[in-house]
Amino acid sequence: MVNANPSILYLEVVAACDMSCPMCVTLPYREGRRRQLSREQIRTLLLEPAVRRGMTSLVLGGGEPTLRPDVLDIVRDAVTCGFAVRFATNLLHIKPAMLQGLIEVLNGEEHSVAVSYDSLQTSAFQIIRGGDFLAGVEANCAHLLHLRRELRSRVKTRATIVVQEENLNSVLATIDHVLN
């Protein structure tokens, strides 16, 4: 018999973001003016009950989750609860210590870091992400891969691509780039 119960919990831990993507539903809240749950509330009201109900995967995002100061603690709580964590980030302004902490906490093949990487073409990336962010994202992606090798981490990396008219002609080249 197939289990019809949901197995994935999608959790947005912050409504703030450091990009200005025109299609994003959090755009009106990018300065983080929405109230957010505390780490304790996330653990006791969401993570622990979800695991008891059989949920096994957690997609953790935002806005941009790395803008939340206690995000590593929330990730640690999710891993401790038994979730396979899929961390969704734009990697724009992540601090090296946070990136290293993320790689250390998510050291397992069941976990992944998914990076928003929409085009190799600067102009297309600028339109989709609302600013001149490609170089910063590219540098942090390289740092992520370097840390993963250096720490011998088994965390998987993923790229997410929002396909729009502006980047349609560069999607295949972008896929080839992120695979390399």
Cα(153)–Cα(38) distance, rounded to whole angstroms? 29
Residue 30 forms part of a structural domain: yes
Q: For position 15, what pLDDT does the model report?
A: 82
Instruction: Domain of residue 108: give its range.
Output: 8-179
The pLDDT value given to residue 1:
52
Q: Exposed, middle or buried by CB within 10 Å (0-12, 13-18, 19+), for 119?
A: buried
CA 64/CA 127 separation, integer angstroms: 18
Residue 101 in domain: yes
- What does the pLDDT read at residue 27? 55
- Is residue 38 classed as helix, strand or coil in its secondary structure? coil
The four Cα atoms 19, 76, 178, 23 give a dihedral, to 10 degrees, of -30
Quote the pLDDT of residue 77: 98
Give the pLDDT of residue 25: 66
Give me the amino acid identity at 88: A
Q: What is the pLDDT of residue 145?
A: 93
Q: Which CATH number is 56's domain given?
A: 3.20.20.70
Q: How many angstroms separate the CA atoms of 108 and 171, rounded?
A: 29
**Contact (CB, 8 A) for 138 and 131:** no
Instruction: Please report whether residue 12 resides in a domain.
Output: yes
pLDDT of the residue at 112: 96
Say what the pTM is: 0.90
CA distance 131 to 134: 9
Residue 1 lies in a domain: no
Residue 150 in any domain: the answer is yes
pLDDT in tens, 140-177: 999 999 999 999 999 999 999 888 898 899 999 999 98
Angle, helix 134-150 to helix 96-105, in steps of 10 degrees: 50
Using CA atoms, how far residue 13 sits from 41, 109, 167, in Å, is: 11, 23, 28
Percent of the chain with pLDDT strictly greater than 90: 63
- Residue 3 in any domain: the answer is no
Residues of the chain with pLDDT under 70: 1-4, 25-34
Whether 139 is in a domain gets the answer: yes
Q: Which of 31, 103, 116, 100 is nearest to 67 (CA)?
A: 31
Q: Total structural domains in the chain?
A: 1
